Amino acid sequence: MEIRWLQDFLAVAETGNFTRAAAMRNTSQAAFSRRIQQLEGWIGVPLIDRSVFPTALTPKGEQFRVTASNILSQMLEMRSELKGFPDAGGAQHFRLAMPYVLATARFPAWWTQWTRQNDFTATLVVGNAHEIAVGLTSGAIDMMIGFSAAQQPFYPERDGVESIEMETDFLRPFISPALLEREGYRFPGEAHRPLPLLMYSSGVYFARLVDLIIENAGGITHRRHVIENDMSDVLRDMAIEGHGIAWLPESTVAAGPRGTLVAIGGAQWSMPMSILAMRERANTNPAVSRLWQLIRRTRQTPPARRRPSPHSPRLDPANETHP
């Protein structure tokens, strides 16, 4: 049996939809269905009731769901023990998950803030949006932090889970100043000057947000896709090198070299996002409770009342649309 079979099973159990679960697991529906069938073959009983819609678990599947969650949780705990992490499982330790983009751009500053008066230790798990959501559902992690846009929630609301908005960010299209000056690109593109786009791979959370942004703005008439990749940092570095336009969180751009990118296109080509901390209400880890209260006390002002930071990436005035 493969661990990804358990992750796949928990994905379809959580979403109730094979297509959505396959997309969140960044695989084709055919490959996803085969792995579920392999898991059922290994277990020896049907886990998914395919005679009803939406997709539901069989009674045996509901029973196995608890086992699958426990297995993933125990494996993570065992990995920490085998690695000999100091204080793992102690009163100051917690297991935290977040996407790579936040782990690199925001986590070090958060850790400095959290540990000023606390001797926390942590196991930091980095993964895509779906992987960390499954980790929370399965009990493999104590808390997750991720981006969430109102039009495409990162994690559907459900009983037993609570969230705090820690900060706000914007997903904007960015371009190198040299490329913009040389080519004069403007949205939605021109026949003789199609926009070179650096895009997220299909199934990635930000890919869905970018699709929504483009759809809401009326579409891009003339475009060409230069590359696709899962990671914002890769697309940021490609944009810095002048290879095209990439939709990036402002925090990711701010974490890179200053002055290397400018936002392009104006407000209609951008989307506000919340940075949410989420946990299971039933979590009894005392370190998580202390961290939760600390985040609640120090969370930033909602976006409507925030003033732009003087260090925020500047907008290109020729392409910005003011309200």
Give whichever of 152-156, 178-182, 227-231 has the largest mean pLDDT. Answer: 178-182
213-242 average pLDDT score: 93
Specify the pLDDT at position 84. 53
Return d(Cα 187, Cα 57) in angstroms, integer: 46
* pLDDT, tens only, 306-317: 334 433 444 444
Q: Residue 154's Cα: distance from chain center in Å?
A: 7
Residue 177 has pLDDT above 80, yes or no: yes
Bigger pLDDT: 111 or 304? 111
* pLDDT, tens only, 12-45: 887 777 887 777 677 888 888 888 999 998 988 9
Specify the pLDDT at position 81. 58
The structural domains of the chain, ordered by start, are 1-84 (1.10.10.10), 169-272 (3.40.190.10)
